[in-house]
Amino acid sequence: MARKFYTCIIVPDASQQLHKLRVPIQALYAVAGVGLLSFFVVVGLGFHYLGMASRMETLQSLEAENAKLKVDTRQLRLATTQLSRQVAALESEAEIITKAIQEDPLLRRLGGTPAGGSTTNVPTAELETGNLDALQARLDDLDKELDLLDAKTKHIRSTPTVWPLAGVIGSHYGNRLDPFTGDADVHLGVDIVAGKGTPVKATADGIVRVAQRRAQYGNLVVLEHPDGFTTRYGHLSGFKVAQGQTVRKHDVIGYVGMTGRATAPHLHYEVRLRDKAVNPRPYLR
């Protein structure tokens, strides 16, 4: 079979001579095939490059996310550790306050039937500890518990529950014979016998409303406490506080004397509830 050729005629601009180029048809097919193959190779390489670029971008994103997760994990561990310490400290504080309240005799005298419990229906999963959410929930619970304990403590501290001084009762609350006239009389407090100059202490947190001489009381200190309580300390030889001053339970407010209507050194001590005299004896340990 005769070979087929394509003849290309080339006409130069500066020459009248023609140039003929005979190209076998098989060579054209070969060139076309190589060109087509090259095209597909280039297209394939292009898609491969795009795929590699996408994977590199994804890898970089994953590496950045992994680094962020490591930082978040460290921060989470640090936060968990800090919360655990806070929870432990608050639990210890709550235990100390609870023990102090339980040992106070006022709680036994004023307390009713033991009762309590949670005010919300908490799922068991939320009661488990060990994760940050659970620790945060426990911390919130402890804050509420400490608020409640603090309220109880303030109530106890603001209620006269201790002796104002070490001594013995020389005259009780209630009916008695007047020591000066021998007539029937009503004694609105208790007389606690002690040596002159013995320190007298506040029996509850409060504010000094009176600190001056008041007729039959002699040198008198009146403390106002929350919840409607007031206490009076009469026949003092001297003052340690001034009117308007805030005092804490066990603070020294004056000294035993025999000023006013008194036959010997002692402290006249009154407890009043909403300005009505009550028997101080149940409040004395």
pLDDT for 226-275, tens place per residue? 889 999 999 999 999 999 999 999 999 999 999 988 889 999 999 999 99
Asked whether the beta carbons of 255 and 197 are under 8 A apart, the reply is yes
- In terms of residues, how long is the chain? 285
Model pLDDT, residue 127:
55
Mean pLDDT, rounded, of the chain: 79
Model pLDDT, residue 60:
80
The sign of the torsion formed by the CA atoms of 39, 41, 46, 47 equals positive
Rounded to an integer, what distance in angstroms lies between the CA atom of residue 55 and that of residue 212? 90
- The mean per-residue pLDDT over the stretch 16-38 comes to 74
Asked whether the beta carbons of 241 and 213 are under 8 A apart, the reply is no
Could you give the percent of the chain with pLDDT greater than 90? 30
List Cβ neighbours of 242 (8 Å cut-off, separation of 6 or more): 208, 211
Element (H, E) at 98: helix 25-103
Best mean pLDDT range from 33-37, 116-120, 216-220: 216-220
pLDDT band at 179 (very low <50, low <70, confident <90, very high): confident
User: Residue with structure tokens 């303030």?
Assistant: 154
Model pLDDT, residue 67:
77
User: 46 is written with which tokens?
Assistant: 């292009």
pLDDT band at 112 (very low <50, low <70, confident <90, very high): very low
Identify the residue with better confidence: 195 or 75.
195
Q: Is the pLDDT of residue 7 over 50?
A: yes
User: Cβ–Cβ contacts within 10 Å for residue 171, how many?
Assistant: 17
